[in-house]
Amino acid sequence: MKLEWLLVLLVLSDLRLLASGRLGAKIRTVAAQGVLLGLVPLLGSSGYPDAHAIAIAVAGMLIKGFLFPWLLLRAVRETRVNREVQPYVGYLASVLIGLAGLAGAFLLSRQLTPLPGKATSLLVTAALFSLFTGLFLIISRKRAINQVLGFLILENGVFLFGAGAMGELSLLVELGILLDVLVAVFVMGITLFHINREFDHIETNRLADLKD
Amino acid sequence: MILALILVPTLCGAAAFLLGGTGLRRALLIGAAVAHAGMTALAWWRTPEPALAGWLSLDAPGLLFLSVTSALFLAAAFYALGYLAFEPHGNVTDLEEGFLFKNAPEAVFISCMLIFLASMTLVTVSRHFGLLWIGIEATTLASAPLIYFHRHHRSLEATWKYLLICSVGIALALLGNFFLGAAIPSSGGASSLLLDELLRGAGSLNPAWLKAAFVLMLIGYGTKMGLAPLHTWLPDAHSEAPSVVSALLSGALLNCAFLGILRIYQLCGAAGQGELCQKALLTFGLVSVAVGAIFILGQSDFKRLLAYSSVENMGLLAVGLGVGGVGTVGALFHAVNHSLVKGMLFLLAGNILVVYRTKAIAPVRGLLRRVPWTGALWLAGFLAITGTPPFSPFFSKFLILKATFDTGHTTVGVLLLFLLAVIFIGMAKACLSMSQGAPEPDEPASPARGWLTVLPPAALAGVALWLGLGIPLRLVSLLDAAAKALGGLR
């Protein structure tokens, strides 16, 4: 029951991310998502959570809830951009497309049966919707930071499914995955810094010299 | 020994980053490459013991791809010595647009090269789907700084596209891994994502989740492998990276991603879902060959030409796997041949770029007269990659084509023949005009870069010729074993 509330919050936060143009607010929303996701492995297990679930929860919460937002907020300060002025797709349209995506996620999660272990149909829906939101933000926004955020949201969807439905994947693998994502965001952050220095802005539509 | 294969390059990479001294760093690069190649060669005679409770072990497909990676890295390491000796410190003039830029520090370059090797090794030896994913993601992260070695706006754009597109692809592949976990029945199935356990309980896997897992992994790893229409990062990254890095990306990295697809394909085959996988692979493969052909024809940049040829060849691998039967052997053999020849061509492209100061095809004339060794090898490489006998790619392409007709995919076979002919014409037009003719008389004397930049591609050409003239029996039996493991041959 508690898990379902959490999933509803996640879906709502995805919608907020689609509607918002201010980068600071978006980063905080993604941070909140990270903290909520950290709770998923704890809620999934019946009775008291074991050491494994706690390790994943703590690592996930620290990395997704605090480290990433801190890195990104720094990047926003350094690059002095705080909002996406002209996205490829407007905010109202984004929300409408998001709602259509949510409907699609509901339909698709009906198809995937039987559900493994502790998963509920809503969990699969929320995971797929996060995936959709992330992908949509990557292609519909120009700012490079927005694309990193999109990647994180997509990653959150994958993490939600992994933590909520699987549970039993080995600790080593889960930590390895978290580490990989961590390094990915780090490398992206460095690249972002270089883009900012090289071009004096971080709009990726200006990164368009290479083509056939 | 498996652990040593991963640890030696990792530790050398860390040492190269932390310790000072240009000489020491270069010695570490060569030392690690030679040690890695030596251990890989040893693995041909004595199968190494599995490590980490069976998470790491070498089977036939793993050994095949490990050997290719190791051999190519050895050639690239020696080439890199010649390359780094030539690269000036401080400001560098851009060869195309003439502005000044700086290179990334050599310590970063060498340590990323070595960690790239370590992560590719991890991909070839891991028996666990999660670990395989970690390895493939690590290859992306280790190679991104390599693409951004020349610090200017074009390489930055290429790096950003590479990072973002491949990370998204890899994230989808991760979801595929979780879906695979969801396919395991709650009782009586495998207890982890270990390939051997999954294969044993393949019959009881839930088909809906397994199919979804395959699709996600095909898209995810296919992005990394450069299958069209997910290939968009590939020409940019390959053309902007230093040529020695392009050689490794095309010859080794794409293969690693292909191995990721092979693993899930192997599992789907064992679970009786092979047909869907083959159809999907066939479609992706044909589209890739077609996209390769379209962009090769009328290409004006020789590094992009090679990059699109990689897209085409990755498509051929997918087609070979998709038709099955002897096509599986053809695909595996072609992966080897493509790596050798494309690695060599990219290394040569680096030599040409230095002498002619352009990546455009049109101004390059008279390679054979101006740089005879590079020119002759370039011509040989062109003949080899387009599938002219006696070079080995001819035989692997022939096997794939034969398989399309044998298995009744006549339309696919005819289409493939047509596309290969188009590609031959496109490549011939570019490569012949580059090698023939007289060089402009008033051009400044070209800086010589020494034998270290000619011998490695020559060695790769030699191996491709050797495999074409008489393929060693050990390799035949390895290819056979690998194809059997993948369910291609009964």
Is residue A64 in some structural domain?
yes
Q: From chain A, pick out residues whose CB is under 8 angstroms from the CB of B131.
A: 173, 176
Q: Do A116 and B158 touch (CB under 8 A)?
A: no
Q: Do A112 and B151 touch (CB under 8 A)?
A: no
* Chain A: residue whose CA lies nearest to B144: A187
Residue A155 belongs to what domain range?
3-207
Is residue B118 in some structural domain?
yes
In sequence order, the β-bridge partners of residue B150 are B103
| Residue, of B278 and A43, whose pLDDT is higher | B278
Q: Give pTM, 2 decimals.
A: 0.92
Q: How high is the pLDDT of residue B321? A: 93
Alpha-carbon distance of A129 to A132, in angstroms, equals 5
Q: How high is the pLDDT of residue A202? A: 58
Q: How high is the pLDDT of residue A171? A: 65
Q: Is A200 exposed, middle or buried (0-12, 13-18, 19+ CB in 10 A)?
A: exposed
Q: Do A147 and B174 touch (CB under 8 A)?
A: no
Q: How high is the pLDDT of residue B490? A: 57
Cis peptide bond N-terminal to A49, omega within 30: no
Q: From chain B, pick out residues whose CB is under 8 angstroms from the CB of A191.
A: 144, 148, 156, 159-160, 163
Q: How many domains does chain B have?
A: 1
Q: How high is the pLDDT of residue B372? A: 87
In eight-state DSSP terms, residue B230 is S
Contact B163, A187 (CB under 8 A): yes
Is residue A171 in some structural domain?
yes
Cis peptide bond N-terminal to A114, omega within 30: yes
Mean pLDDT of chain A: 82
Is residue A79 in some structural domain?
yes
Is residue B490 in some structural domain?
no
Residue B386 belongs to what domain range?
2-485
Q: Is B480 exposed, middle or buried (0-12, 13-18, 19+ CB in 10 A)?
A: middle
Is residue A192 in some structural domain?
yes
Is residue A91 in some structural domain?
yes
Alpha-carbon distance of A166 to A116, in angstroms, equals 7
Q: What is the mean pLDDT of residues A25-42?
A: 89
Question: What is the radius of gyration, based on Cα positions, of chain A?
Answer: 17
The complex's ipTM? 0.89
Write out pLDDT tens, residues B416-474.
Answer: 999 999 999 999 999 999 988 777 765 655 555 678 889 999 999 999 999 999 889 99
Retrieve residue A23's tokens. 């980068």
Q: How high is the pLDDT of residue A201? A: 60
List C-alpha distances in Å: B97 to B92, B100, B156.
Answer: 12, 9, 15
* Chain A: residue whose CA lies nearest to B184: A116
pLDDT tops 60 at residue A50 = yes
Q: Do A170 and B239 touch (CB under 8 A)?
A: no
Alpha-carbon distance of A67 to A55, in angstroms, equals 16
Most A CBs within 10 A among B123, B157, B230, hence the mutation to make, goes to: B157
In sequence order, the β-bridge partners of residue A143 are A203
Q: Do A188 and B178 touch (CB under 8 A)?
A: no
Which residues in chain B show pLDDT less than 50? none
Is residue B159 in some structural domain?
yes
